[in-house]
Structure 1
Amino acid sequence: MSEPAGQHEALFDFESSEPSTNDDAVADPADEAPLGQGALELGIAIPTPFSEPEIDDKVEAEAQEANDEVLENPENSPRKHPNKVSFYQEPQDTARLRGAVLHTMIPEGHRSLSQFVIRAVMKEVQRVEEKYNDGDPFPAVAAHEMPQGRPQG
């Protein structure tokens, strides 16, 4: 079966075959630029690269003030759930922890792994506050103020 000459070229012609009647249209210099070797004009707009937005000092100051307020009074946090805290642990210890939580939920009254961990951690926090700070809470420290990565030494 033979196709009429030129029909397959028309399948990929994205340019309008009708001449433009708008005399006010501004010509795009890119339309006149020659295509590079191997280039293919598909008529697809190429997005501009992402650039960082300008920082508004007033908005940044308000955000920092809100962060400081939440740090000082976490019970007033607008979040539905508390912040997530993560840590590294050996897999066998994690499995052991899950087993202890699952098998003691009813007699101990914890409803989740999170509740179990929070209770255990806060008991230890209270112990070190009593031992090293006369039972008073230590000053609060934000997450970004903690040393990150492996300890040096």
Structure 2
Amino acid sequence: MAQRPERKKSTLGAAHPIEHQNNSQPAAAEPMVIEESRVLQASDAGKEQAERLIGSERAKPKVQPKGAFYADEDVLERIRASWYHTPTTSGEREASFSDFLREAALDRMTRREKSYNDGKPFPPVPSGRIARGRR
């Protein structure tokens, strides 16, 4: 009868989490800073926006803010499903669901700038200025 192969041992198996914490203090986590121009370069709409921002004062690095929206559950399910069921080999699927939502918003933003503001960016609106909730 053949013997079983010996179990592989992890290099972390001997590490003790409490002793490790006492011996060395972990570095404080820094907030992720993403250049706005690099985030926007993923799409055609984003490329146009990035080119406008590169030379301007708004191109400086900043912490990426979070955005949210409200929708009925069936609409949200359809939105998630449209991203999830797009084949990764199609070249259309974004790396993450957040990228999918950002691309959709950038596309809509670009169309509105072209329609209502001669293709130029609208004046910025500070966070908190727009009322929250449903209307």
TM-score, normalization by structure 1? 0.46
**Residue 100 of structure 1 pairs with residue 82 of structure 2:** yes
Equivalent-residue separation in structure 2 for 1:149 and 1:88 (angstroms)? 8
Largest Rg, 1 or 2:
1
Equivalent in 84, 87, 110 of residue 126 of structure 1: 110
Checking the alignment, whether the CA contact within 8 Å between 1:101 and 1:113 is kept in structure 2 is: yes
Equivalent-residue separation in structure 1 for 2:82 and 2:99 (angstroms)? 13
Q: In the alignment, residue 86 of structure 2 is paired with which amino acid?
A: T
Misfit runs of 4+, over 4 Å: none
Structure 1: gaps of 5 or more residues: 1-71
Equivalent in 57, 66, 73 of residue 58 of structure 2: 73
**Residue 116 of structure 1 pairs with residue 100 of structure 2:** yes
Taking a change above 3 Å as real, the CA distance of residues 105 and 86 of structure 1, as seen in their structure-2 partners, is farther
What is aligned with 1:88?
A: 70
What is aligned with 1:135?
A: 119
Q: In the alignment, residue 113 of structure 1 is paired with which amino acid?
A: F
Q: In the alignment, residue 73 of structure 2 is paired with which amino acid?
A: P
Equivalent-residue separation in structure 1 for 2:133 and 2:104 (angstroms)? 24
SS of residue paired to 2:86: helix
Q: Whose RCO is larger (CA < 8 A, sep 6+)? A: 2
User: Kindly, what percent of the aligned residue pairs are identical?
Assistant: 32
- Give a deviation string over 1:3-40, Cα, whole Å, max 9, x none: xxxxxxxxxxxxxxxxxxxxxxxxxxxxxxxxxxxxxx
Checking the alignment, whether the CA contact within 8 Å between 2:87 and 2:93 is kept in structure 1 is: yes
